[in-house]
Amino acid sequence: MLVRQVLILQPDRYHGKGQRTEGVTATDRGVDTIFFDLDGTLTRATLNNTFTFIDAFFVTHHMYRRRALSWLCKGYCRIRHRDERSRRAACISWLFSGLSRQKLEDFASGTYLALVKAHENEAVAAALSRHRGAGSKTVLLTACTEIPARAIASSYGIDECIATTFRYDDDRVRGIGCDTYGEGKRVALEDAGYTAADLMHATYYVDPEPREDGVISSMGTVWAVDGKMCSLLQGGGSSG
């Protein structure tokens, strides 16, 4: 896709709704909903909020044998599943299987958030804060698993979280439910009630991947995040 415009996201660029010194806000274009990706966007690419999360959980709870086996699991899944999405789903299912939902949620909303803050993309977090202050609806749209994603969304005051869900039995994880990896996000958006018209009036901040081309093309405005640089991939707006 052609990069049309570049914006460096920095704090204090905007001084109120509809006003700007540089860049462009969603409210300038009448956009109703602002979607934010998680890995590589709200948090830097150095943090994977599914695999780093579960690894940190194993360490914190002294589950060293389970952690060691997780490396074997990843190797097996690479051999067993050629398709990337299937490989990832199988690996996540094995890593989380049998774990207590309550313990995972407690860890996500406590200890893990400190790690998230350490890997926060401050520029995107500032943009999120501005959009919230302008009254826009904010949505975390991520392939990350639901437990860390919801904790992160809550900590940032994000209105809605769309993430990969789990299946549970007796409060323990038994596998993946709705997988939002890649084009799975499109299905999840439909399930959440977003229409094509809604998305054409929405803005999406994302670390773009080819596997998400369908989701990206459905959005009215897309900003591709690369560190503090945000490239306008599609949609209107000017750099001011």
In the block, residue with structure tokens 């994603």: 149
Whether residue 240 contacts residue 20, with contact meaning beta carbons closer than 8 Å, is answered with yes
- Tell me: pLDDT of 81 over 90: no
Neighbours of 88 (CB within 10 A): 21
| 68: region left, alpha or beta (phi > 0 left; psi from -120 to 50 alpha) | alpha
Domains in the chain: ranges and CATH: 5-234 (3.40.50.1000)
Task: Indicate the pairing of strand 221-226 with strand 202-206.
Answer: parallel
Whether residue 208 contacts residue 216, with contact meaning beta carbons closer than 8 Å, is answered with yes
Model confidence pTM above 0.75: yes
**pLDDT tens-place string over residues 115-163:** 999 999 998 999 999 999 999 999 999 999 999 999 999 999 999 999 9
C-alpha to C-alpha distance for 180 and 184, rounded to whole angstroms: 4
Task: Indicate the pairing of strand 5-8 with strand 33-36.
Answer: unpaired
